Homo-oligomer: A and B are copies of this chain.
Amino acid sequence: MALLKKGKGKKVDHMKTCLRCMECGHEASLLVERKFVCPNCGGLYDVVHDLSSLDCKTFAGFARIFDERAMASHRESHDPRVTSGVWRFKELIMPYLPNNQIVTLGEGDVPIVPAGENLRNWIGGGLDLWLILEGMGPTGSFKDFGGTVMVSVAKAAGITNIGCASTGDTSAMAAAYAAAAGMGCVVILPKGKVTPAQLAQPLVYGAKVITLPGDFDICMKVVRELVAVGALFPANSLNPTRIEGHQATVFLTAQFFGWNLPDWFALPVGNGSNCSSVGKGIRTLYSIGYHRTKSRILGCQSMAARPLAESWLDAGESDATIDSWREEYRPMQVGETTATAARIGDPVSREKVMREILASNGAMVIADEPALNEAVSVCGRDGIFVCPQTGIALEGVRQAVKEGTIVEGSRVVVVSTANGLKFTESASDNPLGDIIEAPDCELSTVVKIMGL
């Protein structure tokens, strides 16, 4: 069995970027690490950069650089810091990676749009409400933000094969960026339990799809074994380089509002990489001298998969500490929900999510199933087709307004995590949909149905 080659060299400066266990502080090399779990204590790694050695020393200086790149982005360029809305912020994301190692599909420069009238009325509270549409990218989900960084670092580390067990956004992202990098990608799935729509992206992107005669848990077990023996580089949520890229959500939003953060970011929480990233992005901006509005994070979960929100509530809500939360936390058996991408009973990044919720003076809420689906319909009535996970966050904002957590006039940015086109089945089942069967094909019949 040919194992993965160890990192070839110092393409990322080891001294200036490293992995550090968030629990015990153990450090590891970004280009050598293959398992992304601390060997001492089993904790998750953070990526840590020494930003102090960058040329730019002031927040205004960074903002000027990022603004210049954004302004050039409508022009032909082969500089990934211009063509990618993630690498625009390279100095804050992966500063010491050589530009020629960057693997990009032009991700990141997604629309930030004001909520429409129907959505504003439905949520209430007189908010200044916006959506960042992260599904408007290469593979149709927010995972592209992290994928471009993960695969670029993997390329620098000499990796030739990446893989995962995922039926959705992660396998699409891994397969697309592996293709762009010229790497192999393996997606391991349970035989007979995956729809053509879920298979389409990995297959089109040229991944090797291996189906196993077992359930999804067995697929995950085999992936863990492959990682353990060094046969596969994992594209899953354990890999902290993804979180570096996801910080772009915060940087794009701040830039959009003239280098001001909103009062709140509202996000759906599955494995939790996006919450972790938004929290880290806010802290990163502060670390380089930003000192205006500090955003709070609203972490939103569905009733079907609410292990973090429930334990935060049980631990005393805004009085919770990391210790009181740990005491209350229990993995849960997930129920049924249309928001399948966030249907996770034991989130990988739970410790990071809770760190960021607490650090941002944030909050958590639980969206029940009818309400999250209604949110998708209401948003659609404004001409914006979001995924059911976004529905969790929209209903979460509505609840936070009702409970008084989010006050009138607040600027709230909802992170819309995937393109609605990935969820057409659940959308067409929605009871709010208006289908009328005409008994015949006469003009007068149709005119009557139209209500004219």
Residues of A within 8 A of B (CB): 1-2, 70-71, 73-76, 78, 83, 105-106, 109, 111-114, 116-117, 136-140, 161, 176-180, 182, 186, 188, 191, 196-197, 199-201, 203-214, 218, 221-222, 225-226, 229, 231-232, 255-258, 376-377, 380-385, 419-425, 427-430, 433-441, 443, 446-447, 449-450, 452
Q: Which residues of B contact A205 (CB under 8 A)?
A: 380-381, 383, 385
Among A161, A376, A427, the one with the most B-chain Cβ atoms within 10 Å of its Cβ is: A427
Contact between A213 and B438, CB atoms less than 8 A apart: yes
Given the contacts A203-B427, A205-B383, A109 and B447 also touching, CB distance less than 8 Å: no
Q: Which residues of B contact A209 (CB under 8 A)?
A: 433-436
Task: Beyond the given A105-B383, A203-B427, please list 18 additional residue pairs across the A-B interface where CB-CB is below 8 A.
Answer: A70-B74, A73-B74, A76-B112, A76-B256, A76-B257, A106-B111, A109-B111, A138-B383, A179-B382, A186-B450, A200-B385, A206-B377, A206-B434, A211-B437, A212-B441, A213-B440, A231-B447, A419-B421
Given the contacts A204-B377, A421-B422, A425-B197, A383 and B177 also touching, CB distance less than 8 Å: yes
Given the contacts A209-B433, A428-B196, A176 and B439 also touching, CB distance less than 8 Å: no
Q: Which residues of B contact A207 (CB under 8 A)?
A: 434
Q: How far is the CA of A2 from the CA of B451 in the complex (A)?
A: 9
Contact between A74 and B226, CB atoms less than 8 A apart: no
Among A75, A109, A188, the one with the most B-chain Cβ atoms within 10 Å of its Cβ is: A75
Q: How far is the CA of A435 from the CA of B441 in the complex (A)?
A: 45
Contact between A385 and B180, CB atoms less than 8 A apart: no
Q: How far is the CA of A208 from the CA of B176 in the complex (A)?
A: 37
Q: Which residues of B contact A139 (CB under 8 A)?
A: 385
Q: How far is the CA of A359 from the CA of B432 in the complex (A)?
A: 49
Contact between B438 and A212, CB atoms less than 8 A apart: yes
Q: How far is the CA of A78 from the CA of B308 in the complex (A)?
A: 37
Q: Which residues of B contact A439 (CB under 8 A)?
A: 213
Contact between B1 and A204, CB atoms less than 8 A apart: no
Q: Which chain B residue lies CB-closest to A201?
A: B385
Q: Which residues of B contact A222 (CB under 8 A)?
A: 441, 443, 446
Q: How far is the CA of A309 from the CA of B436 in the complex (A)?
A: 39
Contact between B70 and A208, CB atoms less than 8 A apart: no
Q: Which chain B residue lies CB-closest to A190?
A: B441
Q: Which chain B residue lies CB-closest to A376?
A: B204
Partner of A231, one of B200, B204, B377, B452: B452
Q: Which residues of B contact A438 (CB under 8 A)?
A: 210-213
Q: Which residues of B contact A377 (CB under 8 A)?
A: 204, 206
A222 CB to nearest B CB, Å: 6
Partner of A450, one of B161, B421, B424, B441: B161
Contact between B196 and A425, CB atoms less than 8 A apart: yes
Contact between B424 and A201, CB atoms less than 8 A apart: yes
Partner of A199, one of B76, B221, B428: B428
Q: Which chain B residue lies CB-closest to A147?
A: B383
